[in-house]
Amino acid sequence: MVRRIIKINEEKCNGCGLCAEACHEGAITMVNGKAKLIRDDYCDGLGNCLPACPTGAITFEEREAAAYDEEAVQAHLSAAGKAGVKENLAPGKPAAGPGAFHGGCPGSRMMNLKREPQSGDKPVPDDIPRETSGESSNPSMLGQWPVQIKLVPVNAPYFQGAHLLVAADCTAFSCGDFHRRFMKNRITIIGCPKLDQGDYTEKLTEILRNNDIKSLTVVRMEVPCCGGITHAATEALKNSGKFIPWQIYTLSLNGEVLDE
């Protein structure tokens, strides 16, 4: 029969495993670092995996394919020790427990991280006192996972209503109070334009365009290669067609904020 089914572009796939995690039927697995549709009759054609893919590697196509077979799916999940995952992850039902199978790369699984409530709903002012890094009184301000720009899903729920921080990888290591000064009450995504392949502009554009982002903050190092992350963020803001308050900070190698 001819029906709608997913198609995976291996060239675009970065091996994050988020699609395999999002597939409730276990139709996708990771083979040699790439996502693979293992059997046509495991794919229901609903596309839960599409919004989870951060690179746009998954699309729909109409082609000759075996009909979706729910009994085969249940047998597959049961044999792999995944029984009940589909029911647990169905709309309106609680997520599977800690011991349940999620598929894909566990280190890339999208999640919100619970933190102690912070006063107010706006980013902390820039003139707060700095504290020595490593003190036990300095809790992490990271609010979500993953944080790498290449890995975050464009439509992740934590982007809705978020104050977004786009930071170069090295900034948190140079600035001792980076968490309190920049990450507090913000959703943080990081990258290195010199080491990561490709440009961040398209990904950041989609994040800004598809979500209700309240503000955009960019933190970069003074080194020239960090200009790539500034360029990508500002171009994404223009391309999004939205008016969003934004600010760019440049840090010296000693972690001091320089004039931009």
**pLDDT tens digits, one per residue of 3-46:** 999 999 999 998 888 888 888 888 998 888 889 999 999 999 88
pLDDT at residue 108 is higher than 70:
no
Q: Residues 81-109: what's their mean pLDDT?
A: 42
Instruction: Tell me if 14 sits within 8 A of 105, measured CB to CB.
Output: no
- β-bridge partners, 218: 166, 248
Q: In terms of pLDDT, which residue wins out, 228 or 77? A: 228
For the CA atoms of 42, 47, 48, 54, the dihedral, rounded to the nearest 10 degrees, stands at: 120
Q: What pTM was estimated for this model as a whole?
A: 0.57
pLDDT of residue 80: 63
Query: For the residues of 192-225, what is the DSSP string, one character each?
Result: -TTTSSS-SHHHHHHHHHHS---EEEEEEESSGG
Average pLDDT, the chain: 81
Percent of the chain at pLDDT above 70?
77
The per-residue pLDDT for range 235-248, each reduced to its tens digit, is 999 999 999 999 99
Percent of the chain at pLDDT above 90?
46
Q: How confident is the model at residue 153 (pLDDT cuts 50, 70, 90)?
A: confident
pLDDT at residue 104 is higher than 50:
no
pLDDT of residue 85: 40
pLDDT of residue 228: 92
